[in-house]
A = this chain, B = another copy of it.
Amino acid sequence: MLPISKNEIVTAHRCIGSKIHRTPILTSKYLDGLTNGQLFFKCENFQKTGSFKIRGATNAIMNLGKGALAKGVATHSSGNHAQALAFAALNMQTKATVVMPSSSSAIKKAAVREYGADIIECEPNQASRESTLETFIEKTGATSIHPFNNYDVMTGQATCAKEILEEMSDLDYIVAPVGGGGLLSGTIMSAQYFSTSTKVVAAEPKGAGDAYQSWMHGEIVPIDHPNTIADGLLTTVGDKTFPVIREFVDEILTVSDEEIIQSMKIIWERMKIIIEPSSAVTLAAVLANPIKFSNKKVALILSGGNVDLKKLPF
């Protein structure tokens, strides 16, 4: 049983359509040859703000009433969700406030400020992030928009796979990265509604393998000290995203950081596009499982393209 209806995804897509890019689906003969399959790359690295996160953030804000909109939105994030919420808020004339660890890079803070959001700094730990956000919410009445464990956000992320399935028929697999599970659960729901013959596979860094562990054990298993170059995938799946994943994911494939970096390099060099390490887990999973994907038609979601060019892993 899915927590979101087909109609909710269709409506969300209609509503946010004019606020986001319809990103292209690219192919590479070289990579088809390498995998003996047909690969289709959904390029959310070209999405507004540089990642798919704008889909969920926009949908969540659009579902707020007038009173809530007047009080603004808030979140804690040091990554793509922060930029996405800031940009979506700017787009919908409401105010965004982002709690960011004091250790966040100047580049990331600048990107959030560029879209007109306020930043509140906190200690660089989960407890401080949450308590700082809570205090702000209590004081101002702003609505907290969680980066993934939120049905409106999950509905927004589902529109990415919906676009893939509108353009592609007979797809055997969609491979999506999994961090907190917003994109993965959305992808699963769209596959269930728009192409029941398409299976959804998750790709996860070994160093942040909570989704794999949770799926194996049937309940959420957090990882104590996640460590991976794919810094968008450090978070643990949530109680709204995990039930969808547990019931419907075809498989969760884990890959090493070495495999992630190698796949990132192949995509940069061969496809001439910039993706962040969290995007490269999907190709890494396909390359590490040649039998599963041989002779298959596979869509891979390249989730984002926000990298610090001064800190490249190659």
A residues bordering B, Cβ < 8 Å? 24, 45-46, 50, 265, 268-269, 272-275, 305, 309-310, 312, 314
> B50, B310, B312, B314: which contacts A272 (Cβ < 8 A)?
B50
Complex Cα spacing A273 to B312, Å: 15
Residue on B nearest A48 in the bound complex, by CB = B29
Complex Cα spacing A274 to B271, Å: 9
Query: Are A269 and B309 closer than 8 Å at their CB atoms?
Result: yes
Query: Are B312 and A46 closer than 8 Å at their CB atoms?
Result: no
Q: Please, could you name 19 A-B residue pairs with CB atoms under 8 Å apart, sorted by A?
A: A24-B24, A45-B272, A46-B272, A50-B272, A265-B309, A268-B274, A268-B309, A269-B309, A272-B273, A272-B274, A272-B275, A272-B305, A273-B273, A273-B274, A274-B274, A309-B312, A309-B314, A310-B314, A312-B312
Complex Cα spacing A310 to B273, Å: 16
- Complex contacts, A274 vs chain B, CB 8 Å: 268, 272-274
- Complex contacts, A50 vs chain B, CB 8 Å: 272
Closest 3 CB pairs of A and B: A272-B305, A272-B274, A45-B272
Complex Cα spacing A272 to B314, Å: 17
Complex Cα spacing A108 to B57, Å: 44
Residue on B nearest A46 in the bound complex, by CB = B272
A98 to chain B, nearest CB (A): 20
- 16 A-B pairs besides A50-B272, A268-B309, A273-B274 with CB distance below 8 A are A24-B24, A45-B272, A46-B272, A265-B309, A268-B274, A269-B309, A272-B273, A272-B274, A272-B275, A272-B305, A273-B273, A274-B274, A309-B312, A309-B314, A310-B314, A312-B312
- Complex contacts, A24 vs chain B, CB 8 Å: 24
A274 to chain B, nearest CB (A): 4
Complex Cα spacing A304 to B243, Å: 46
A122 to chain B, nearest CB (A): 27
A116 to chain B, nearest CB (A): 15
- Complex contacts, A305 vs chain B, CB 8 Å: 272
- Complex contacts, A272 vs chain B, CB 8 Å: 45-46, 50, 273-275, 305
Complex Cα spacing A24 to B312, Å: 27
Complex Cα spacing A133 to B247, Å: 65
- Complex contacts, A312 vs chain B, CB 8 Å: 309, 312
Complex Cα spacing A309 to B312, Å: 9
Complex Cα spacing A268 to B269, Å: 13
Residue on B nearest A270 in the bound complex, by CB = B50
Complex Cα spacing A275 to B272, Å: 7
A32 to chain B, nearest CB (A): 14
A53 to chain B, nearest CB (A): 15
A233 to chain B, nearest CB (A): 19
